[in-house]
Amino acid sequence: MTVQHESPSVSLPTQASGAPSRAPEDGTGNTPGEAVAGPSQRIRRRLERLIGIAATEGNAVTPLVNGDRIFGAMLESIRSAEHTIDMMTFVYWKGDIARDFARALADRARSGVRVRLLLDGFGSRLIEKDLLREMDRAGVTVAWFRRPLYLSPLKQNHRCHRKVLVVDEREAFTGGVGIAEEWCGDARDEHEWRDTHVKVRGPAVDGIAAAFAQNWAECHDELFDDRDRFVEHRPQGDAVVQVVRGSASFGWQDMQTLLRVALESAEKRVRLATAYFAPDDFFVDLICATAARGVEVEILLPGRYTDKRVCQLAGQRYYERLLACGVRIHQYQRTMMHAKIVTVDGVAALIGSTNLNRRSLDHDEEVMLAVLDAGFTQSLDRDYDEDVAHSTLMEEGRWKRRRLGQRVRELGVVPIRRFL
């Protein structure tokens, strides 16, 4: 795999909300009231207006590829904490890495750092009880999001799928990684999952912290204390970042708007990578319509190694239709592909916890970053190229001739696909 390094941020010149317009990135000046020019600026304004969340400037966003780099950076940040640590995750399972995180959190709590850990009541049910006891004795405040035994039936299916770490209110991490041995290593074989996380410094940290606070408020009486400093953020880089939160409720969600804007804004190429691909007909039509405009559309999915075969079958039901539309579908062969990434025209990227399935779009609490930064996006595209080199390209003719048993299994999951 590509050894990831911090890419220099190459961002459009943008203005704070309400500030006078400045020349956009392509050099064509705009006076106030005119439509903005330049692909990044257009995407930014569409997202701000349609989602209603302002993007922030002055961020440094560093991609971290695979467990060795992700866990190392997260643990280093935890161990250097001086004031506060807020962490939440859907998956907290077992293994040495689970113990490493528990001990690092416990150590900082014993040193006087305020440490809060929020675990999903379903996704983290496998955590070792001795780790919970160790953290509790050290002073870590552990809360559970919607433990199944205590929920009404309406809430059972709505989970917290966000992965967030915020340290000293100045540095944050988010992405697709859970705390478990499956993510350790560098995707060298089927035992080391492929994933991407990001480290963020700058004003966007507040948006990521808000994702934690939103879920923490449901689970704990104390929202903040005197150790929260509510710091002012100074510019750390050039990336423009919008933090989008998806909530587990009914109706159209911001995550759906986010993906729709990305697809409908693409002019040259859009690349999607997702661990769980089980869209509805609306999004399949949207992907096909994007390809019909002449946009190169690629989708990277798990191949022979997947932890949810039923979800894979739900997505494979649409392969024939997508391939006929000209969409290129790659199935990753090295290990389980768990990243959640979209890149648009080499200038914008979405990254976070959201998959392209009904569970992420309809049922779960999610968080995604919309990053407008050419350097960051191109770094993700280079990783995508590397992943494609370890993937199998699905061929329309061969897929049409797939076996009857495969077709029957695809049809068999149709009744439950909205829950996948």
Lowest mean pLDDT among 31-35, 107-111, 118-122, 362-366: 31-35
Asked whether residue 341 carries a pLDDT value surpassing 60, the answer given is yes
Q: Is residue 65 part of a domain?
A: yes
- Residue 27 is predicted with a pLDDT of 39
Token pair, residue 292, equals 């019909």
Across the range 83-106, mean pLDDT stands at: 96
Strands 171-175 and 269-273: unpaired
The residues near 406 (Cβ < 8 Å, ≥ 6 apart) are 316
Q: Do the Cβ atoms of 161 and 24 come closer than 8 Å?
A: no
Q: Is residue 365 part of a domain?
A: yes
Across the range 341-349, mean pLDDT stands at: 98
Q: How confident is the model at residue 266 (pLDDT cuts 50, 70, 90)?
A: very high
The residues near 285 (Cβ < 8 Å, ≥ 6 apart) are none
Helix/strand/coil percent split, the chain, to 5: 40, 25, 40
Task: Write down the mean pLDDT value for the chain.
Answer: 88
Q: Is residue 21 part of a domain?
A: no
Q: Is residue 9 part of a domain?
A: no
Q: Is residue 12 part of a domain?
A: no
CATH no. for residue 180?
A: 3.30.870.10
- Residue 18 is predicted with a pLDDT of 37
- Residue 248 is predicted with a pLDDT of 60
Q: Do the Cβ atoms of 162 and 215 come closer than 8 Å?
A: yes
The residues near 209 (Cβ < 8 Å, ≥ 6 apart) are 86, 164, 166, 169, 172
DSSP summary character for residue 411 = H
- Residue 253 is predicted with a pLDDT of 82
Residue 196: Cβ-neighbour burial (10 angstroms; 0-12, 13-18, 19+)? buried
Across the range 281-286, mean pLDDT stands at: 94
CA 212, CA 19: separation in Å to the nearest integer? 29
Q: Is the dihedral of CA 357, 392, 297, 41 positive or negative?
A: positive
Task: To the nearest 10°, report the CA torsion of 3, 177, 301, 349.
Answer: -70
CA 136, CA 186: separation in Å to the nearest integer? 32
For residue range 45-70, list pLDDT tens digits in order. Answer: 999 999 999 999 999 999 999 999 99
Q: Do the Cβ atoms of 186 and 192 come closer than 8 Å?
A: yes
Q: Is residue 252 part of a domain?
A: yes
Q: What's the CA angle centered on 144, arms 201 and 158, to 5 degrees?
A: 90
Strands 348-352 and 341-344: antiparallel
Q: What is the CA radius of gyration of the chain?
A: 21
pTM of the complete model beyond 0.85: yes
Would you tell me how many other CB atoms lie within 10 Å of the CB of residue 408? Answer: 10
DSSP summary character for residue 21 = P
* Number of independent structural domains in the chain: 1
- Long-range pairs for 99-102: beta carbons < 8 A, 24 or more residues apart: 99/128, 99/131, 100/71, 100/75, 101/74, 101/75, 101/179, 102/131, 102/134, 102/135
For residue range 316-329, list pLDDT tens digits in order. Answer: 989 999 999 999 99
Give the DSSP H or E segment for 393: strand 391-393
CA 57, CA 146: separation in Å to the nearest integer? 35
Q: Is residue 11 part of a domain?
A: no
Residue 28: Cβ-neighbour burial (10 angstroms; 0-12, 13-18, 19+)? exposed
CA 131, CA 120: separation in Å to the nearest integer? 16
Q: Is residue 155 part of a domain?
A: yes
- Residue 360 is predicted with a pLDDT of 73
Across the range 255-280, mean pLDDT stands at: 95
CA 101, CA 79: separation in Å to the nearest integer? 10
Would you tell me how many other CB atoms lie within 10 Å of the CB of residue 32? Answer: 6
For residue range 178-229, list pLDDT tens digits in order. Answer: 999 999 999 999 999 999 999 999 999 999 999 999 999 988 989 999 999 9
Amino acid at 177: V
- Residue 156 is predicted with a pLDDT of 65
At residue 108, φ and ψ (nearest 5 deg) are -70, -35
Residue-number span of the structural domain to which 87 is assigned:
39-419
For residue range 362-408, list pLDDT tens digits in order. Answer: 778 899 999 999 999 999 999 999 999 999 999 988 888 788 877 77
